[in-house]
Structure 1
Amino acid sequence: MSEDKSLKAQAWTLFDRIVEPALSENGQPSSNPWWKNASGLWFKPDYSVLQRLLGVPLLLGAPSQSGVPALALDVWTAYELRRAGFEPDLVWPRATPPRILPSTLVALRREATREQRRVLDGMLQSGKTYGGETGASANILGKNYVKQVDVVMSTWNTGPEIMISTKRMDSSFGKNAANRVEESYGDAKNLRSRHPQAALGFFFSLRSTVLTPQFEDVAAWIIDLLGKLGREDDAYDAVCLIIPDWSDDVAAPSGDDDDGEDPLVSAGLAGEGLAAEEPLPLELPESELDRRLRSLPTVELNRKAVPENLRPEVFFATIINRVLDNSPVNFHREARRLRANPNPR
């Protein structure tokens, strides 16, 4: 197993255990994330889970190129969509392997006999990607090219309903910021042109060191650009920013914030391509798993520095409302029920 796959296998073990207690046995939310007060309806993200997920790459010392630091964002985003009541198996990455599973296979498994399900589960949980139909990455055709999308909700009869790209920048702010924003803008146009009714989002993480005097102007510029990405009808519906903060005593993920995504691999033209196997969680003794979870570095979130229009509360509410507004009332019943019965405050 390559080093990157080994790190992802370790990360998935920890990620899965962190999100598992917050969801019920069927993957549905154990509590309603919607709240209502005098100002109206609002979505309350689970920041405590996000902070623990962000600690996993730091614990593992995972470099950016391994994909693990960015994967923490994917896991949390998918977790929040499941908390919102969307069907767990249709939100990718899923909470169990395979992380990508087409709705047709979900339906097949649901209707299978016990013996058929045993055989099917043995195949699906093997780590094989079966021509790219299952696995760890979702590659979606836009107007002009195939794009790997980090968090997706899709079925055969609806097509993609949610497409969210995540990016993380922990260093080299001045060097890479422009490239990341330009790439995201082009990706939005590409995906929106083919899927105009889908909820399209961009989730960006900037380490808090960007707020130091050295990068003050760069930080203001990045935050301003992120706000503008969500203003056009044919681009993103919502853009999100988080600013994680951790001690300099913790080894930060190394590298130049390249998450390892290769457009040619997404298109099936280079590298391991569609035949690559999915990294599976490691089987760790409970004592070792508990020890690692207790050892997670502390990660705080600077929420005051994030403008209101870029906060996760607004981001998830916008994405969820767009999906529900653009689908028939008999679709996504649980998500509609949760939104219609918010917690009082």
Structure 2
Amino acid sequence: MAAESPSAKAKAWVLFDRIVACAAPDGVHSNPWVKGPDGQLRFEPDFEALARLLGVPLHLKAGTQSGVPALAFDVWLSYELRRAGFNADQAWPRPVHPRILPAPIANLLKALPIGLRKAVADRIERDGAITGATSANGIILGKNYLKQVDVVISDWVTGPELLISTKRMDSSYGKNAPNRIEESYGDAKNLRLRHPLAALGFVFGLRSDILQKEPATAEWLFDLLAKLGREDDAYHATCLVLMEYASDGAIPETGEEPPVTALPEPGQELEGEDVPVPASDAAVDRDIAQLPRVTILKEEIPEELAPGRFLAAMVTRVLGATPVNMHKEARKRRASPELR
């Protein structure tokens, strides 16, 4: 019987992982915090890494239902959280498979004798999603229902500390925008009411041709996104990313992003972990060199929705809601910004 061909997401993970690995050589991440001549502290995102990640679904011609286009944002946000000082096991999705590895499991692995550690690590890597231990998806219980959250910081000691949902829209703006916003508002209330101390954020990726094709829809969207970040019972901050890329590389319109039609009971696991396809670094680097060019239109994004402002708000809220002896590296980086 012929082997099943890898999914678009499995192919994408190889490129995503290589891009973020090259952006942080030997696991060393740059400090995103800078302080200008005016003394203002700000968070400077790595837009170059984001542009490369956004080129992956274009290169693979991965449609919306593959989940790859939106996944590019999840990978970038977890990378930015590592730049802020959270370690690889804290910010999910992790930069390696499996994508969610709770801190107690990671600590147990480090404490095991070398031989046993390797055997357990190999088992975790092979199986990926082990019920009650590791996972491919961040599933969080809100006030009334379980919700799959895209980017998460959580531990059994603290509970959820950061919850970020991402959405992306590359076409059919007038038709799809109201549904996306309505869903996001409901999700915010569900999560906020059970986890009031968690930093709750929403990131919306939007192709820039909306500014020419449907300017009225763009104006409406920008206004509503900003308001979602001001509500007392919704998101603490919201973010907009405007992406510009060539028309011949457009994301195939295959319908809405893949819905999670049946979330499992607590302690169970969603099926279908997409394990990265093994490939040499040289082959992956060749693919990355051929990625379509994506430009982030930073100047067109309203200040209230700017990615740097959003990330600063998320990190600051996490640090503000925890004691000073927690997240020490993140506190150190924020207190030692680069002077510019």
> What TM-score do you get using the length of structure 2 for normalisation?
0.95
Identity %: 50
RMSD: 1.6
Alignment of 1:144-163 (within 5 A): 144-163=144-163
Q: After TM superposition, give the deviation of residue 279 of structure 1 in Å.
A: 1.2
Q: For residues 107 and 157 of structure 1, what CA distance do their matches in structure 2 show?
A: 14
Q: Name the amino acid aligned to 2:124.
A: L
Q: Alpha carbons of 1:24 and 1:327: their partners in 2 closer, same or farther (altered >3 Å)? A: farther
The question of whether the paired residues in 1 share the 8 Å contact of 2:55 and 2:294 is answered with: yes
* 2:35 alignment partner in structure 1: 36
1:6 Cα deviation (Å)?
1.6
Separation (CA, whole Å) in 2 of partners of 1:24 and 1:334:
18
Q: Structure 2 counterpart of 1:21, which letter?
A: C
In structure 1, the residue matched to 2:242 is: 243
Aligned equivalents of 1:235 and 1:252: distance in 2?
30
1:209: how far off?
1.2
Residue number in structure 2 paired with 1:303: 298
Secondary structure of the 2:165 match is: strand
Partner of 1:262: 260
Give the length in aligned residue pairs: 336
CA separation in 2, counterparts of 1:133 and 1:277? 16
CA shift in 2, pair 1:267/1:275, >3 Å = closer
TM-superposed CA distance for 1:254, in Å, is 2.6
Post-superposition shift, 1:255? Answer: 1.6
Q: Does 1:190 align with 2:185?
A: no
CA distance in 1, matches of 2:4, 2:299: 40
Distance 1:205 1:132, change over 3 A: farther
Aligned equivalent of 2:252 = 253
Whole-angstrom CA distance in 2 between matches of 1:164 and 1:105: 23
After superposition, what is the alpha-carbon deviation per residue over 1:139-188, rounded to whole angstroms, capped at 9, x for unaligned? 10000000000000011100110000000000110011011101101100
User: What 5-or-longer segments of structure 1 have no aligned partner?
Assistant: none
Instruction: Say whether 1:314 aligns with 2:279.
Output: no
The question of whether the paired residues in 1 share the 8 Å contact of 2:12 and 2:57 is answered with yes
Match of 1:141 in 2: 141
Per-residue CA deviation, residues 29-72 of structure 1 (Å, 9 max, x unaligned), is 2x211000114100000000000000000000001000000000
C-alpha contact (below 8 Å) 2:64/2:257 kept by paired residues:
yes
Partner of 2:107: 107
Cα drift, residue 241 of structure 1: 0.3
Displacement of 1:116 in angstroms is 1.6
Offset at residue 261 of structure 1 (A): 2.8
Consecutive aligned runs of 4 or more in structure 1 exceeding 3 Å deviation: none
Give yes or no for contact 1:147–1:187 (8 Å, CA) kept in 2: yes
Work out whether 1:82 is the aligned partner of 2:85: no
8 A contact 1:147–1:267 mirrored in 2: no
